[in-house]
Amino acid sequence: MNIGIVGTGYVGIVSGCCFAEEGNSVICYDIDEEKIRSYSVCKSPIFEPGLKELLKKNIAEKRLSFTTDIKELVNSSEIIFICVGTPPMNDGSADLSQVEAAVRAIAENSPKNSYKIIVEKSTVPVGTHMHLKTITKLYNKGKSRFDFVVNSEFLKEGNAIADFMNPDRIVIGVETDRARDTLLKLYECFDTKKLVVDPSSAEIIKYASNSFLAMKISFINMVADLCEKTGGDIENISQGLGYDGRIGRSFLDAGIGYGGSCFPKDVKAFIKVMEEHLVDSSLIKSVDNFNSIRYKKIISILQDELWILKNKEIALWGLAFKPETDDIREAPSINIVRELLNMEAKVSLYDPKAEENFRKIFPQSQNVRYEAEPLKALENCEALVILTEWEEFRKIDPCDIYSALALPIVIDGRNIFPSDKMKELEFRYFPIGKGVILRDMRNSK
Ligand code: UGA
């Protein structure tokens, strides 16, 4: 099939590469000329495992091309996926101006008597498809025929290609048989559950999925806080909960809170949608409030341990919001570094992939140093804080951490080290939600 992708962020570029890999002819459009130039020569401005290889292969086999000319895309595509950003506005609601602009451009450039299927892949509030219909009517002036489909994407950064190729489900929100049959044909080779619903349901499924997962994370983080006060090990508890098929084990890893370009933004936007429709949103609002101050936990442990932080150097491992990505959007590391610098502490930073992006917010300075090796980042530091569970951190021998740090204090925001071993080595070790250990250590202080 001939597919057009508008917007080459994470969702757009991954969808484009994967549809091409499945044998479709795909053209990707973006207003950002630099991005398009870069993709055209097989260079990806974002790091995502496997993406470069797919780009290279599908460009070489002539199934994947790039353009900054929307007319070219519209002329050659029967199905056009809208994959542009929907960033948050000041009040938390989703800014839909990029979606509107994309659909308007498609409407204005669609040839007379043509038929196009416009697919919303961007995450948008319920009812957006109705506005898009109106926009196309307005700017196309009845020259062409359009069908609208809502087909949200559920891929996770860092695992995006595998998630796209092997999804848990494909949700298709449609109003006409023609659009339904075309989308089902496109996804024919994907062996998974396909749910065909009305467009409003499809729009809500996306926000509700992200908000529900965010709720699971905040819930387990709340229980972790209880464990720290009463005793109990959050990993045992997650397992105990997870064995209940109704609950499930995934997204019950306690930590320093969720970040990224999706959960924080989508939870806020979902709240806004509920408020607009006078629906009680208090449940999901507390998820958002709880998560937005979770990073302070790290600061308070540091203050408990080191008292005055001014002029003390703290090492931080893991700046990305999660492993296997260089994305730092809404990463807990940003708030933590900002707060430490406000307190006139110094930070020594290491991340396998996200350093370049982090430097754009926190350039190297007297109080901010970047190191290319995790152990080197520990030199002269009075504590290590682990913020992202990169696999390479798990492989580091804790004895080497002990030798490199000036004081053996480790705050493990992602529970990557075995607590018993850390205790045996006489670290002052602060994992998340391991109350027994914490109490034992406090008693022996
Ligand atoms: C999320 C959803 O998982 C995807 O299904 C969705 O398609 C995507 O948003 C989107 O809307 O585009 P993503 O933000 O890439 O994907 O990353 P996740 O793996 O969901 O992680 C989000 C945050 O939650 C990370 O900061 C992660 O560290 C945190 N998390 C995740 C936990 O703290 N505990 C967990 O058990 C799981």
Distance 434 CA to ligand 1 centre (A): 23
Using a 6 Å cutoff on CB, does residue 370 contact ligand 1?
no
Active site residues: 262
pLDDT of 438 over the 70 cut? no
Model pLDDT for residues 90-101, shown as the tens digit of each residue: 999 999 999 999
CA dist 414 and 257 (Å) reads 10
Mean pLDDT, rounded, of the chain:
96
- For the cut 50, the answer to whether the pLDDT of residue 195 exceeds it is yes
Predicted confidence at residue 416, as pLDDT, reads 97
Residue 176 has pLDDT above 50, yes or no: yes
Question: How much is the pLDDT for 26?
Answer: 98
**So what's the pLDDT on residue 6?**
98
Helix spans in 65-127 (H): 70-76, 97-109
350 bridge partner residues: 317
Strand-pair category, 193-197 with 169-173: parallel
241 or 440, which is more confident?
241
For 239-297, what is each residue's pLDDT tens digit? 999 999 999 999 999 999 999 999 999 999 999 999 999 999 999 999 999 999 999 99
210 lines ligand 1 (CB under 6 A): yes
Instruction: Output the six-digit token pair for 242.
Output: 């997870």
Judged against a pLDDT cut of 60, whether residue 19 lies above it is answered with yes
Angstrom distances, CA of residue 169 to CA of 126, 181, 191, 192, 308? 20, 17, 9, 6, 51
Per DSSP, the three-state class of 286 is helix
**Gap between the Cα atoms of 217 and 109, Å rounded:** 44
Closest CA to 289 of 307, 306, 272, 264: 264
Of 11, 10, 152, 95, the residue nearest 269 (C-alpha)? 95
Q: Is 24 helix (H, G, I), strand (E, B) or coil?
A: coil
236 Cα–ligand 1 center, Å: 22
The answer for residues whose C-beta is within 8 angstroms of residue 360's C-beta and 6 or more apart is none
Nearest in space to 333 (alpha carbons), one of 372, 366, 362: 362
Mean pLDDT across 103-129: 96
Helices (H), 77-166: 97-109, 128-140, 160-165
Q: Of 346-350, 432-436, 440-444, which range is least confident?
A: 440-444
The predicted-structure confidence for 381-425, as pLDDT tens digits, reads as follows 999 999 999 999 999 999 999 999 999 999 999 999 999 999 999
Residue nearest to atom 9 of ligand 1 (CA): 262
Report the pLDDT value the prediction gives residue 440, as an integer from 0 to 100: 52
User: In 267-408, which ranges are E strands?
Assistant: 313-317, 346-350, 368-370, 383-386
What phi and psi values does residue 281 have, to the nearest 5 degrees?
-110, 15
**Residue 190 reports pLDDT greater than 60:** yes
pLDDT band at 305 (very low <50, low <70, confident <90, very high): very high
Give the number of other CB atoms < 10 A from CB of residue 239.
Answer: 12
Distance CA 20, CA 394 (A): 36
User: Is residue 39 in contact with ligand 1, taking CB distance under 6 Å?
Assistant: no
Which residue matches tokens 């451009």? Answer: 105
* Nearest ligand 1 atom, CA 327: 15
- Please determine, for residue 444, whether its predicted confidence score (pLDDT) is greater than 70: no
What would the DSSP string read from start to end of 176-245?
Answer: SHHHHHHHHHHTTT--SEEEEE-HHHHHHHHHHHHHHHHHHHHHHHHHHHHHHHH--BHHHHHHHHHTST
Residue 445: band (very low, low, confident or very high) from pLDDT cuts 50, 70, 90: very low
pLDDT at 437: 52
Over residues 141-153, the mean pLDDT reads: 95
Task: Say what the pLDDT of residue 441 is.
Answer: 53
Q: Is the CB of 228 under 6 A from ligand 1?
A: no
d(CA 63, CA 273): 39
CA of 154 to the centre of ligand 1 (A): 10
Q: Are 82 and 97 in contact (CB under 8 A)?
A: no
Using the predicted structure, report yes or no on whether residue 220 has a pLDDT greater than 90.
yes
Q: How far apart are CA 295 and CA 199, in angstroms?
A: 37
The span from the CA of 431 to the CA of 106, in Å, is: 51
Instruction: Specify the pLDDT at position 435.
Output: 84
pLDDT digits (tens, 9 = 90+) for 351-377: 999 999 999 999 999 999 999 999 999
Does residue 82 carry a pLDDT above 50? yes
Residue 199 has pLDDT above 50, yes or no: yes
Token couple for 407:
């004081």
Supply the pTM of this predicted model. Answer: 0.95
